[in-house]
Chain A
Amino acid sequence: MTDVVLYASMSGNAEWLALEIARARSIPSVHADLARVPELARAGRVLAVMPTWGRGELPLDASPLVRALAAAPGALAGVAFAVVALGDRRYPDFCGGGLTFARLLVAAGASELAPPLLLDGAPAERHWGEVERWLARVW
Chain B
Amino acid sequence: MSTAIVLVTYGEPTTPGFFAQWMYSLRILRQLTRKIARIPAPLLPVIATARALGRRALWSRHGFGSPLEPATEQTVRALARALEGREGGPYHVCLAYEFRRPLITDALAELERRRDVDRVVIVPMYMGTGDFTCGLTQSALDVALARRGWDSARVSMCRLTDPAPWLDRVAEVSASFVVRACAARGLALPDPSWALCLAAHGSVQTPAPGVDNGVAAFGELVWRIAARLGGDGGLFGRVRNGWLNHTRGGRWTEPSVARLLPRLREAGFRKLVYYSWGFTTSNAESALEGQLVLDAMDDPFDEVVYLPCLDDDPEFVALLADRIEDHDAAVVAASP
Contacts and interface: CB of A to CB of B under 8 A. Distances in A.
A54 interface: yes
A34 B267 contact: yes
Nearest to A57: B223
Given A11-B219, A60-B226, A61-B240, A125 B232 contact: no
B216 A88 contact: yes
Contacts, number: 63
B253 A11 contact: yes
A23 B71 CA distance: 46
Interface string B230-244: 011000001111010
B36 to A, nearest CB: 13
A15 B251 CA distance: 12
B74 interface: no
Contact of A10 (B232, B241, B252, B266): B241
Contacts of B226: 60
Contacts of B252: 12
B263 interface: yes
Interface SS of B by simple majority: mixed
Interface in B194-243: 205-206, 215-216, 219-220, 222-224, 226-227, 231-232, 238-241, 243
Given A31-B263, A63-B232, A12 B251 contact: yes
A63 B231 CA distance: 9
B196 to A, nearest CB: 10
A81 interface: no
A33 B227 contact: no
A104 to B, nearest CB: 16
Between A10, A13, A31, A63, the greatest number of chain B beta carbons within 10 A of the residue's beta carbon is seen for A10
B254 A33 contact: no
3 tightest CB-CB pairs across the interface, nearest first? A12-B254, A54-B223, A123-B205
Interface of A: 9-13, 15-16, 31, 33-34, 53-54, 57, 60-61, 63-64, 67, 88, 90, 122-125
20 contacts: A10-B219, A11-B205, A11-B219, A11-B253, A12-B205, A12-B243, A12-B251, A12-B253, A12-B255, A31-B263, A33-B263, A34-B266, A53-B223, A54-B220, A54-B223, A60-B239, A60-B241, A67-B232, A123-B205, A123-B251
